[in-house]
Amino acid sequence: MEESPAPDPAVILRPRLLGWLLLILVSAELFNLYTGIQIASFLSEFLVVSLFVLAWRSMRLREIYLLVICLILFGLAWISGRPIVEITSEGLDRSAYLTSFILLMALLREGALNSPSVLEFGTFLTRQPARRRFVTLFAGGHFFAVLINLGALSLLAPIIQRGVRSNLGKGEALDDISEVRERRQLCATLRGFSWFLVWAPTAVTQAVMPTLMSGIEVSRLMVTGLGLALLMFLVSWAEDMLRWRGFTRRLRAEGRMPLATATQLPKKAVQHLALVCLALFGLSISLSLLANVTIITGVMLTAPIVVCGWIYLQQTAETQRERRMAVAKRLDHITFTSMPGYVREAMFIACAGFIGTLAARLIPAQDLATMIGLASLDGWIVLWGLTITVWVFGQVGFSPITMAVLLGSLVAEMPNLPVDMTHAALAIAAGTAICTTGAPFASGALMLARATGYSSFTLTWRWNGIYTFASMVVLAFYYAVLTSL
């Protein structure tokens, strides 16, 4: 099982202070979301700025680059005479929201780290016969993405490689069969992971879209997105089968087809994970109904509750007192050791929210709509254009989340939009999914590259380039059908 990220050496001297800051930031944001009290919003905005001050030594080139862009946009807003206080507050408010969301979702990953059920079920997925392996890994990558977000890739990738390379000597190269087997499994996992972004309430895209665009029907967005994810599963499976059909025929003709293996479903592990999912989404839906908040906001408060219960169930001590002490020790470790290890991700997502918000306020949405003739365009072209825009900018290093915030803010201000907001949000989310398999700078591709040793360019452009373009073509037809209903 993987370990949680260790705090940066520059931060390790004050991890408890940073842990307290993150804890109070998340608490203030949750208090703000559930009560609407303005002082909580001000506190979370102040703390998200303080995060950069306290952890500045842990910043690397990516965070420095994004922070410089934030300062440039702030300067442009000041020079252009925009209401700087209002715009800055809006940007910081979104930064605090996204930072809190990503930290709360990271808690689910922390709960999974020491879960035998997660490891057992993940191993089961990777050891299926060849004819079922793509299906199970796509579904498994998707399921674990919903449950533990980016942790799905760092969980499954080592298990895949360990299974493929188990019979190799040290430094021995993969043969053609093992190379293709590893590639197909990693591609299936990455593709399954990517499409959770279009519907799951634990995805950052689903968290941010309703805050940007009024009129989004969250339940319809989730249902439509789930339908799109199922469609893209079929596209992924078909592309994989067609791509490797000739290779399979050659192996069969040469008598080199690997023997099929069968593994038994770990029923107890499945039951445990099903219970975690039921608790997560059952409590989230209940909170959304009782507190009159979105399901995503319900998930944010439910996550720490579920993680506490999950950790408690993992303890093997005999007495209740010992179990409680073990839980307290684990929670202390998560708060003051593990969570500070996510500081760079927190700064990244904070900058993404701020950049997207300020950039959208500096671009005249109405003039842009007039320039591109938005009102006269067919609805499917608008949706397809939103998806393609996220992907194009992803090729030059723009974060998909930054583009999602930017496009969502712009679309919300555009007059005479020929599509409804729910479909527009789906198209932007689909763009982030396409980036995951088709842009080497997307978080998912970078995470998988870090976990496997393969270049993110290999994982996206080389291995998934044809699939990415096939997905875009299918999306054009999907949008045409969607807008005609």
3-state secondary structure 302-362: HHHHHHHHHHHHHCCCCCHHHHHHHHHHHHHHHHHHHHHHHHHHHHHHHHHHHHHHHHHHH
Report the Cα 362 to chain-centroid distance in Å.
27
pLDDT attached to residue 169: 65
Q: Are 134 and 184 in contact (CB under 8 A)?
A: yes
Q: What is the per-residue burial (b if ≥16 Cβ within 10 Å, else e) of 132-147?
A: ebbbbbbebbbbbbbb
Q: Give 286's pLDDT tier (boundaries 50, 70, 90).
A: very high
Give the C-alpha separation, 207 to 209, whole Å.
6
Selected residue with higher pLDDT from 301 and 12: 301
Give the C-alpha separation, 137 to 296, whole Å.
26
Q: Give 4's pLDDT tier (boundaries 50, 70, 90).
A: low
Q: Which of 449, 446, 403 is nearest to 427 (CA)?
A: 403
Q: Give 2's pLDDT tier (boundaries 50, 70, 90).
A: very low
pLDDT attached to residue 112: 87
Tokens of 58: 């842990």
pLDDT attached to residue 110: 87
Boundaries of every domain in the chain: 67-254+342-484
pLDDT attached to residue 7: 53
pLDDT tens-place string over residues 68-90:
999 999 999 999 988 999 999 99
Please, what is the end-to-end C-alpha distance for the chain in angstroms?
A: 46
pLDDT tens-place string over residues 95-121:
999 999 999 998 988 888 888 899 899
pLDDT tens-place string over residues 138-179:
999 999 999 988 889 988 999 898 888 877 766 678 888 889
Give the C-alpha separation, 183 to 185, whole Å.
5
Q: Is the pLDDT of residue 261 over 70?
A: no
Mean pLDDT is lowest, of 249-263, 420-434, 468-482, for 249-263
Tokens of 387: 């998806």
pLDDT tens-place string over residues 152-163:
998 899 989 888
